[in-house]
Structure 1
Amino acid sequence: MVRMSAEERRESVVRAAVTEFARSGYHGTSTEAIARRVGVSQPYLFRLYPNKQAMFLAAAERCLADVRRVLEEAAEGLMGEEALHAMADAYKRLIAEDPDMLLMQLQVYVAVAAAEAAGDHAFGDTVRLGWLRLWDTVHLGLGADAGGTATFLAQGMLINTLVSMGFPAGHRVWTGLRESTRQTGG
């Protein structure tokens, strides 16, 4: 049996945390469920991460970093409309192939909104930094076009919403998005 290093264990905890938080949300996920998924004890889990919030933030940061990496790789060597199409296609593939990625993004937004409403701004500050890096990735890929960046991200959020609500690809609610995408080059 090969023993994992602490860093490898931390990585397995982040992957497990993304899955558990994506499916059950911040408040609905127990650290026991994460520990069970990883195959470690809760005390060991807390040696790797000081608390549940730290695990959630690590999962949120990983989710945003993975989306950013996919977009960067898709747009590599491209600019403007070519980059836009490549990033859009890569993102659609990502959420189709990894539904937990989409669910985790939605859980992150809910958790930040709840924390902000309760007066915990530090939680949101950490997540906002990750989201700003994502915004910068899209912005640079689109040739620093602020309007194009906003449109791309807005359409991405609409896609997130429609997919999460289970609208099939041929449903009429997608029609306006397809037309809007053609007009804006998305």
Structure 2
Amino acid sequence: MTSTDLPSGTTGRLSAADRREQILAAATVVFGENGYAGATTDQVAQAAGISQPYVVRMFGTKQKLFLEVMNGALGALLERFRAALPDPGDGTILEKRLGAAYIDLVDRAGVHRTLLQAFVSGNDPVIGDAAREGFVSIYRFLRDEAHFEPAQVSEFLGYGMLLSVLLGIELPRTFGKSADADELMLAAFGEKCREVLDVAGPSARRV
């Protein structure tokens, strides 16, 4: 094992499982920033602080890595949604709890943007199929576990895509420069706006 196989600041050996999670976390950011077509395994390796051949040995191809990243992002989303299902006893409506859970994913760098990148890759024969199935899995959750009516599902998914677009175009990073943009963000993110700005706003550190 060479020093380039270790992340910056790491002095000991990582287990294969930890190394895998390290690469997936880095790849989530890289794919979120550059999309599937624009990202490279070399960029992922640099972001993870390891060698590019190691990434290839572990995941095989960029396509397989992207699919794992996409499925991991979907899994994280559904996990947050399921955690928000139990009634907290405060009278908060379910749509609001699920919306807050979706926004809270800003604490997982790159997840929102990776999902958005996947959902606009429908023309790719492999990724497109996986993205469609992933989106339908969100629909199934809302229908079968959250017990939303069709109109609720449509409204909720539309709201989620609005949030994804605002994060995808990095509108929070411009907060304070445009009254209209600020108004849109406040309306969309609501009481979660401050948390979003802390993570993705003008003073937030780029990952």
Cα separation, 2, equivalents of 1:146 and 1:77: 21
Q: Check 1:123–1:98 CA distance in 2 against 1; reply closer, same or farther (3 A cut).
A: closer
Kindly report the root-mean-square deviation, in angstroms, between the aligned alpha carbons of the 2 structures.
Answer: 2.7
Q: Is 1:148 equivalent to 2:159 in the alignment?
A: no
Aligned to 2:122: 113
In the alignment, structure 1 segments of 5+ residues that lack a partner are 179-186
Which deviates the most, 35-44 or 158-167?
158-167
In the alignment, structure 2 segments of 5+ residues that lack a partner are 1-10, 176-180, 190-207
Which deviates the most, 134-143 or 151-160?
134-143
Give the C-alpha shift of residue 34 in structure 1.
0.9
Higher relative contact order (CA 8 A, sep 6+): 1
Residue of 19, 43, 50 corresponding to 1:40? 50
Give the C-alpha shift of residue 136 in structure 1.
2.0
| Contact 2:122/2:132, CA 8 A, preserved across alignment | no
Identity %: 26
Indicate the SS of the match to 1:113. coil
Cα separation, 2, equivalents of 1:11 and 1:105: 18
| Contact 1:6/1:48, CA 8 A, preserved across alignment | no
Q: Deviation per CA, 1:89-115, whole angstroms, max 9, x where unpaired?
A: 2212323x44622221221123x2341
Which deviates the most, 99-108 or 21-30?
99-108
Cα separation, 2, equivalents of 1:46 and 1:170: 42
Indicate the SS of the match to 2:50. coil
Q: Check 1:39–1:76 CA distance in 2 against 1; reply closer, same or farther (3 A cut).
A: same
Q: Letter of the aligned partner of 2:122 in structure 1?
A: A
Q: Is 1:21 equivalent to 2:31 in the alignment?
A: yes
Q: Number of paired residues?
A: 169
| Contact 1:75/1:84, CA 8 A, preserved across alignment | no
Name the TM-score, length of structure 2 as normaliser: 0.69
Residue of 163, 188, 204 corresponding to 1:159? 163
Cα separation, 1, equivalents of 2:64 and 2:134: 15
Aligned to 1:133: 137
| Contact 1:35/1:42, CA 8 A, preserved across alignment | yes
Cα separation, 2, equivalents of 1:173 and 1:15: 27
